[in-house]
Amino acid sequence: MTDKAVIFDMDGVLIDSEPAYLEMNLRMFDQFGINMDDETYKALVGMPSVPMWKFLKEKYQLKNEVSDFIHLEKKRMLEILDSDIITKPVDGINELIRILKKNNVSLSVASSSAKDNVNFVLDKLNIKNNFDFIISGEEVENGKPSPDIFLKVADHFDLNPGHFYVIEDSTNGINAANSAGMKSIGFTNDGTNMQDLSGADLIINEFNDSGREEILKFILNSSQHQNT
């Protein structure tokens, strides 16, 4: 196994779930009387549920407990993941996984989603066995944009963070990867993703032939960070 490693975010990278999540969240916000502007919502994308709902409870003076919101969110999110909305990975992901594995790059998933939901999706799409390590936002103290989740992956492999390349679709995810001392790859999903990915070391619009080639070239030719 090479000392190069790739970490995938799940939502918005492995699966095109963000439009469905947006609709779900807007309905929940409306249900609880939350009138949120676009900039506030963008800042929440990629953030784990607990800190997100703590922030919203305080900002909008919500009466329900954080645990109530998380329970409802998990239930509705699982309904989306179990529906016909999510039936296959993002176009080109299977091919990207194959080409990375062919070049002996180790693969992981680090998602802010609930652990049960992450495992459910990876099993449903029959891609779970491709990953050497899987971690959710529930398994770290501080979620993205803190680097905790990515540093825990580095600890698992006993590798310097500079060996890792993180593929993310959110500002919080890119900031977390950069804070961890890892290389970051922003995915715009053919321009449909409105997150600010300007902090990424590389930005990819699609996982098509040229996108996959660019990612592989970037990974294999990049020098490692010098942090220890």
The pLDDT averaged over each successive group of 10 residues in the chain (228 residues) is: 89 92 90 90 85 92 94 90 93 98 97 93 96 95 95 97 97 97 96 92 98 97 59
Which backbone phi and psi does 51 adopt, to 5 degrees?
-65, -30
Structure letter (DSSP) for residue 15:
B
**Is residue 177 in some structural domain?**
yes
* Reported pTM: 0.87
Name the residue type at position 153. V
Considering the domain architecture, whether residues 138 and 184 belong to the same structural domain is answered as yes
CATH number at residue 194: 3.40.50.1000
Among the listed residues 26, 57, 51, 58, the one whose alpha carbon sits nearest the alpha carbon of residue 144? 51
Q: Residue 36 belongs to what domain range? A: 18-81
Considering the domain architecture, whether residues 134 and 198 belong to the same structural domain is answered as yes
Considering the domain architecture, whether residues 46 and 106 belong to the same structural domain is answered as no
